[in-house]
């Protein structure tokens, strides 16, 4: 049993565990809405558009998280604005915007001699989270969970019946903007864990697995959170013992959980209770 406990005597592992639990919680709970409202592509796009913000912050010596937050917020507002105008279809608008911003990030990166400095942005480095950043992560997770709890009935209604929401004067676009802002915050924290390229996996995979196992929303969120936190732990072990990239290990653990959920789902369908 000693090998199970051994990693946690190091403070960087403890910080990593705490960080991955916080991030997993926020990503999984919000991810349920991302999956149910079919915003998966948007989550991925948000993660990618953050790149130039982070790189610019790095180059100017500005706080990285602050740079990411600014870029994510601008993107969230921009996408909301774009999709209301309907000049081009929303997914097209997102596709154009997200590749353009990502390319800008890469361009900025290439002005620096060493590409290596940015690998933790691209692929995440959960063990590199500083105790200071832990507070930021805690604040983001707290805000996400509090907002989801306080506006549960409005989020739910605008998701499955926007017409009724509009009828009673509930601003559907306002709720959507709020959700996009929360998504931006969550993506910024997810990037610390698995990086720009894989963040949407944290949003989508645990929530999708949970949606196969339950048809009650609160239960779905709890399950998704459990899967995300468990995957974080598995990823940390993997990187400790096998010296593999923690972000990739975490995402693969999520993928494995989805596979298991899918098998359970398929089994239940074949053998009705």
Partner 1 sequence: MNVFLPYTPHRHIEPVPGAPAVSVRLPRLRYPGTESLALRDIELTVPVGARVALVGPNGAGKSTLLKAIAGLLPVPEGEVLIYGRPLGGCRHRVAYLPQRHDIDWRFPVDVQRLVMTGRYVHLGWLRRPGPADHALVAQALEQLGLTALARRQIGELSGGQQQRALLARALAQDADLLLLDEPLNAVDADTRAVVSRVLAELQRRGKTVITATHDLGRLETDFDGAFYLCEGREEPAPPGAFTGLIVGRERPVSVAR
Among 47, 55, 198, 220, binds partner 1 (CB under 8 A): 220
Considering only the stretches 45-53, 126-134, 187-195, 210-218, report the one whose residues sit in contact with partner 1 under the rule CB under 8 A. Answer: 210-218
Question: Which residues in 136-152 are b (16+ Cβ under 10 Å) and which e?
Answer: bbeebbeebbebbeeee
Among 150, 244, 264, 266, binds partner 1 (CB under 8 A): 150
Within residues 68-127, the interface with partner 1 by CB under 8 A covers 86
Among 41, 154, 177, 255, binds partner 1 (CB under 8 A): 154
Considering only the stretches 23-31, 56-64, 166-174, 258-266, report the one whose residues sit in contact with partner 1 under the rule CB under 8 A. Answer: 166-174
Among 6, 161, 263, 268, binds partner 1 (CB under 8 A): 161
Minimum distance between the CB of residue 168 and partner 1, rounded to whole angstroms? 4
Query: Using the rule CB under 8 A, is 211 a contact of partner 1?
Result: yes
Q: Are 187 and 199 in contact (CB under 8 A)?
A: yes
Query: Using the rule CB under 8 A, is 268 a contact of partner 1?
Result: no
* Residue 194: closest CA among 13, 16, 5: 16
Query: Where does residue 205 rank: exposed (0-12), middle (13-18), buried (19+ CB within 10 A)?
Result: buried
Question: What x-and-dash track marks residues 167-206 binding partner 1 by CB under 8 A?
Answer: xxxxx-----------------------------------
Question: What x-and-dash track marks residues 32-61 binding partner 1 by CB under 8 A?
Answer: ----x-------------------------
Query: Using the rule CB under 8 A, is 214 a contact of partner 1?
Result: yes
Residues that bind partner 1 (CB under 8 A): 36, 86, 150-151, 153-154, 156-157, 159-161, 163-164, 166-171, 211, 214-217, 220
């Amino acid at each position: 049993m000693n090998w199970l406990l051994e990693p946690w005597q190091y403070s960087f592992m403890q910080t990593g565990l705490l960080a991955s639990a916080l991030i997993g919680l926020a990503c999984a709970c919000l991810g349920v809405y991302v999956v149910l409202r079919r915003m998966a592509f948007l989550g991925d796009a948000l993660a990618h558009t953050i790149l130039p913000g982070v790189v610019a912050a790095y180059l100017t010596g500005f706080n990285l998280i602050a740079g990411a937050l600014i870029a994510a917020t601008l993107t969230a507002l921009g996408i909301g604005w774009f999709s209301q105008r309907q000049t081009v279809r929303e997914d097209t608008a997102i596709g154009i915007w997200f590749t353009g911003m990502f390319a800008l990030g890469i361009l900025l990166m290439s002005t620096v001699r060493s590409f290596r400095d940015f690998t933790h942005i691209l692929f995440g480095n959960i063990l590199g989270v500083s105790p200071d950043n832990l507070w930021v992560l805690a604040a983001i997770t707290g805000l996400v969970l509090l907002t989801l709890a306080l506006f549960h009935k409005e989020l739910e209604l605008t998701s499955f019946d926007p017409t009724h929401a509009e009828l009673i004067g509930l601003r559907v676009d306002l709720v959507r903007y709020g959700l996009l802002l929360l998504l931006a915050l969550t993506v910024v924290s997810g990037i610390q864990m698995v990086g720009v390229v894989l963040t949407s996996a944290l949003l989508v995979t645990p929530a999708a697995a949970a949606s196969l196992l339950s048809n009650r929303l609160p239960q779905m969120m709890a399950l998704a959170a459990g899967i995300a936190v468990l995957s974080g732990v598995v990823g940390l072990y993997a990187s400790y013992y096998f010296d593999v990239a923690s972000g990739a290990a975490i995402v693969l653990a999520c993928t494995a959980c989805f596979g298991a959920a899918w098998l359970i789902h398929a089994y239940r369908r074949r053998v009705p209770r």
